[in-house]
Chains A and B, each alone.
Chain A
Amino acid sequence: MTTAHAEAVNGTLPHEPEKATLEGRNKVLAFWLFLGGEAVLFGTLFATFLALRNQTNEGPSANELFHLPLVAAATFLLLVSSLTSVFAIQAMHRNRPALLRSWLLVTVVLGAAFLGLEIYEFSEYVRHEEFGMTTSAFSSAFYTLVGFHGAHVAFGILWISVLIGQLVRKGLTVVTAPKIYVSAMYWHFIDVVWVFIFTVVYLLGKVG
Chain B
Amino acid sequence: MDWITTVDHKKIAILYLWAGGLFFGIGGLEAILIRIQLIKPMNTFLDAQTFNELITMHGTTMIFLGVMPVIFALMNAVIPLQIGARDVAFPFLNALGFWTFLFGGILLNLSWIMGGAPDAGWTSYTPLSTTTYSATHGVDFYTIGLQIAGLGTLIGGINFLATIITMRAPGMSYMRMPMFAWTTFITSAIILFAFPAITVGLVLLTFDRILGANFFEVGGGGNPVLWQHIFWIFGHPEVYILILPAFGIISEVIPTFARKRLFGYSSMVFATILIAFLGFMVWAHHMFTTGLGPVANALFSVSTMLIAVPTGIKIFNWLFTMWGGQVRFTTPNLFAVGFIPTFTMGGVTGVMLASAPADFQFHDTYFVVAHFHYVIVGGLVLGLFAGLHYWWPKMFGRMLDEGLGKWTFWTFIIGFHMTFFVQHFLGLMGMQRRVFTYLPNQQFDLLNLISTIGAGLMGVGMLFFLANIFLTSRKPADAADDPWEDGRTLEWTIPSPPPEYNFKQTPLVRGIDAFWKEKTAGHKGMTPSEPVGSIHMPSATILPFLMSVGIFIAGLGFMFSRDTFSSEALSFLFNNYIVTGLGLLITFGSMLMRSLYDDHGWHIEPEELEGR
Nearest Cβ in chain A — how far from B533, in angstroms?
Answer: 11
Q: Which residues of the partner chain A approach B221 to less than 8 Å between Cβ atoms? A: 52, 55-57, 136-138
Q: CA A170 – CA B600 in complex, angstroms?
A: 14
* Contact call B207/A26, Cβ cutoff below 8 A: no
Q: CA A135 – CA B219 in complex, angstroms?
A: 11
Q: A134-B213, A162-B592 are in contact. Are A44 and B201 (CB under 8 A)?
A: yes
Q: Which residues of the partner chain A approach B471 to less than 8 Å between Cβ atoms? A: none
Q: A25-B166, A30-B90, A37-B158 are in contact. Are A55 and B195 (CB under 8 A)?
A: no
Q: CA A55 – CA B225 in complex, angstroms?
A: 14
Nearest Cβ in chain B — how far from A150, in angstroms?
Answer: 14
Q: CA A52 – CA B217 in complex, angstroms?
A: 11
* Contact call A29/B166, Cβ cutoff below 8 A: yes
B70-94: CB near A (< 8 Å → 1, else 0) gives: 0000000000000000000110000
Question: A69 near B: Cβ within 8 Å?
Answer: no
Name A179's closest neighbour in chain B (CB-CB): B595
* Contact call A26/B90, Cβ cutoff below 8 A: yes
Question: A80 near B: Cβ within 8 Å?
Answer: no
> Contacting B197 at CB < 8 Å: which of A33, A40, A139?
A40
A residues 124-178 touching B (CB-CB < 8 Å): 133-141, 144, 158, 162-163, 165-166, 169-170, 175
Q: Which residues of the partner chain A approach B212 to less than 8 Å between Cβ atoms? A: 133-134
* Residue among A37, A133, A170 facing the most chain B CB atoms (10 A cut-off): A37
Question: A75 near B: Cβ within 8 Å?
Answer: no
Q: A44-B196, A144-B207 are in contact. Are A30 and B214 (CB under 8 A)?
A: no
* Contact call A30/B158, Cβ cutoff below 8 A: yes
B178-219: CB near A (< 8 Å → 1, else 0) gives: 000000000000001111110111011001100111110100
* Contact call B213/A133, Cβ cutoff below 8 A: yes
> Contacting B598 at CB < 8 Å: which of A25, A55, A141, A175?
A175
Q: Which residues of the partner chain A approach B208 to less than 8 Å between Cβ atoms? A: 140
* Contact call B214/A57, Cβ cutoff below 8 A: yes
* Contact call B196/A29, Cβ cutoff below 8 A: no
B446-471: CB near A (< 8 Å → 1, else 0) gives: 00000000000000000000000000
Q: Which residues of the partner chain B approach A119 to less than 8 Å between Cβ atoms? A: none
* Contact call A26/B204, Cβ cutoff below 8 A: no
Name B93's closest neighbour in chain A (CB-CB): A30
Question: A45 near B: Cβ within 8 Å?
Answer: yes
- What range describes how many residues of A lie at the interface? 35 or more
> Contacting B213 at CB < 8 Å: which of A44, A51, A144?
A144
Q: CA A144 – CA B207 in complex, angstroms?
A: 9
Question: B161 near A: Cβ within 8 Å?
Answer: yes
Question: A208 near B: Cβ within 8 Å?
Answer: no
Q: A30-B158, A136-B214 are in contact. Are A41 and B200 (CB under 8 A)?
A: yes
Q: Which residues of the partner chain A approach B217 to less than 8 Å between Cβ atoms? A: 137
* Contact call A41/B196, Cβ cutoff below 8 A: yes
A residues 30-70 touching B (CB-CB < 8 Å): 30, 33-34, 36-38, 40-41, 44-45, 47-48, 51-52, 55-57
Question: B294 near A: Cβ within 8 Å?
Answer: no
Name B155's closest neighbour in chain A (CB-CB): A34
Q: Which residues of the partner chain B approach A52 to less than 8 Å between Cβ atoms? A: 215, 221-223, 226
Q: A22-B166, A140-B215, A162-B592 are in contact. Are A37 and B200 (CB under 8 A)?
A: no
Name B233's closest neighbour in chain A (CB-CB): A44
Q: CA A56 – CA B193 in complex, angstroms?
A: 31
Q: Which residues of the partner chain B approach A175 to less than 8 Å between Cβ atoms? A: 598
B residues 576-595 touching A (CB-CB < 8 Å): 588, 592, 595
* Contact call A29/B162, Cβ cutoff below 8 A: yes
* Contact call A38/B223, Cβ cutoff below 8 A: no
Nearest Cβ in chain B — how far from A159, in angstroms?
Answer: 8
Q: Which residues of the partner chain A approach B201 to less than 8 Å between Cβ atoms? A: 44
Q: Which residues of the partner chain B approach A22 to less than 8 Å between Cβ atoms? A: 166
Q: A38-B196, A45-B200, A57-B214 are in contact. Are A51 and B207 (CB under 8 A)?
A: no
Name A40's closest neighbour in chain B (CB-CB): B196
Question: B596 near A: Cβ within 8 Å?
Answer: yes
Q: Which residues of the partner chain A approach B596 to less than 8 Å between Cβ atoms? A: 162, 165-166, 169
Q: Which residues of the partner chain B approach A158 to less than 8 Å between Cβ atoms? A: 588
Question: B5 near A: Cβ within 8 Å?
Answer: no
Q: Which residues of the partner chain A approach B158 to less than 8 Å between Cβ atoms? A: 30, 33-34, 37
Q: CA A84 – CA B221 in complex, angstroms?
A: 42
> Contacting A137 at CB < 8 Å: which of B195, B215, B233?
B215
Name B215's closest neighbour in chain A (CB-CB): A140
Q: Which residues of the partner chain A approach B204 to less than 8 Å between Cβ atoms? A: 48, 140, 144
Q: CA A41 – CA B234 in complex, angstroms?
A: 11
Q: CA A153 – CA B207 in complex, angstroms?
A: 21
> Contacting A140 at CB < 8 Å: which of B159, B213, B592?
B213
Question: B543 near A: Cβ within 8 Å?
Answer: no
Question: B165 near A: Cβ within 8 Å?
Answer: yes
Name A59's closest neighbour in chain B (CB-CB): B221
Q: CA A153 – CA B195 in complex, angstroms?
A: 22
* Residue among B159, B194, B214 facing the most chain A CB atoms (10 A cut-off): B214
Nearest Cβ in chain B — how far from A96, in angstroms?
Answer: 22
* Contact call B595/A48, Cβ cutoff below 8 A: no
B residues 221-256 touching A (CB-CB < 8 Å): 221-223, 226, 229-230, 233
Nearest Cβ in chain A — how far from B593, in angstroms?
Answer: 11
With A30-B89, A33-B158, A52-B221 given, name 7 new contacts (CB 8 A): A26-B89, A30-B159, A37-B196, A41-B197, A48-B204, A137-B222, A144-B204
Task: List 22 interface pairs A-B (beta carbons < 8 Å), by A numbering.
Answer: A25-B166, A30-B161, A33-B162, A37-B154, A40-B194, A40-B197, A41-B199, A44-B197, A44-B200, A44-B233, A48-B200, A55-B222, A56-B221, A57-B220, A57-B221, A133-B211, A137-B214, A140-B213, A140-B220, A140-B222, A144-B204, A144-B215
Interface residues of B (CB under 8 A from A): 89-90, 154, 158-159, 161-162, 165-166, 192-197, 199-201, 203-204, 207-208, 211-215, 217, 220-223, 226, 229-230, 233, 588, 592, 595-596, 598
Interface residues of A (CB under 8 A from B): 22, 25-26, 29-30, 33-34, 36-38, 40-41, 44-45, 47-48, 51-52, 55-57, 133-141, 144, 158, 162-163, 165-166, 169-170, 175, 179
Give 3 closest A-B pairs by Cβ, nearest first: A55-B221, A137-B221, A140-B213
